[in-house]
Amino acid sequence: MIWHTPSRTFDLSRRALIMGVLNVTTDSFSDGGQFIDIERAVAHGRQLAAEGAEIIDVGGESTRPGAEPVPEAEEMRRVLPVIEALARYAGSSEFGVRSSEKGRSPISDLRSSRPAISIDTMKPAVARAAVEAGAEIINDVTGLRDPAMREAVRATGAGAIAMHMQGRPRDMQRSPRYADVVGEIREFFRQTFEACLACAIDPMRLAFDPGIGFGKTVEHNLTLLRNLDSMRVEDRPLVLGVSRKSFLGKVLGSDALADRAWPTVALTSYGRTRGANIIRVHDARPNAEALRMTEAMLSPEAAA
């Protein structure tokens, strides 16, 4: 299973990737406001890479339930300086956190390549500007439905993640309903794949995310996790994002955000056994360790 971006080829046949979340926002559900400062954001991106993230996913607009849209100019103001700085570091020997600062990080030695930068956006103009600034992946929570976003992917040659969402962030959790959640999302992926082919996007640049928590109930989310691999389209990579999401707390009966950390790690390992190829998390190191250990059990070659 191969996934292309403008400057690299990821072989995901035996080894999955950790995608580290970097929210440059004021209102994200778990870390809003923590990294709105450019220097703090860049430092956190470097830390994620040092702890095993092979993709750094930069977002300037919250997609939490109930979130309001951010103006295009403001989103660019937040993300572009961070992407430019991280792209410079990613191309240098300085990328990551020095051992004297944070201690030895053995997971750093397990990265397959320098980290790629991803832009998490719903806006085609932001996606284009981000790729020009150094991003290589467009992560679209609206699933490449917008023809202008598909054209941005085609024109830039970026890797792309099409995520399923029922509704929009402001209303997606108001009574989401499906007759067959797995079948409907699989059909959405199939239609998206065909729409991308119709506008001459290289299929080897596409990946798909079922959108856990985006217009789904707890039971919808659990059903999708149990049936993850059955949603794969044309042998394209599957992306899994469950990190710190509210359904974890609902299953556990806890409102504390800290109580979602280890369930996230558990689902990183479980998701890998169900076919996930790219796993999007806030805490890189424990999830990277769980992923590498799971892969060593699944295939000795993956640990080599």
Catalytic residue numbers read 245, 280
Q: Backbone phi, then psi, for 294, in 5-degree steps? A: -60, -45
CB distance 49 to 74 below 8 Å = no
Contact 129, 76 (CB under 8 A): yes
Q: Determine the Cα–Cα distance for residues 128 and 117; give it in Å rounded to an integer.
A: 13
Q: CA–CA separation, 240 vs 147, rounded Å?
A: 24
* Cα separation, 98 vs 110, whole angstroms: 16
Scanning the chain, the segments in alpha helix (DSSP H) are 38-50, 72-90, 99-102, 124-133, 147-156, 181-198, 218-226, 246-252, 261-273, 284-298, 300-303
Backbone angles phi, psi at 143, to 5 degrees: 75, 30
What is d(CA 32, CA 244) in angstroms, rounded to the nearest whole number? 13
Nearest CA to 5 out of 161, 163, 136, 139 is that of 136
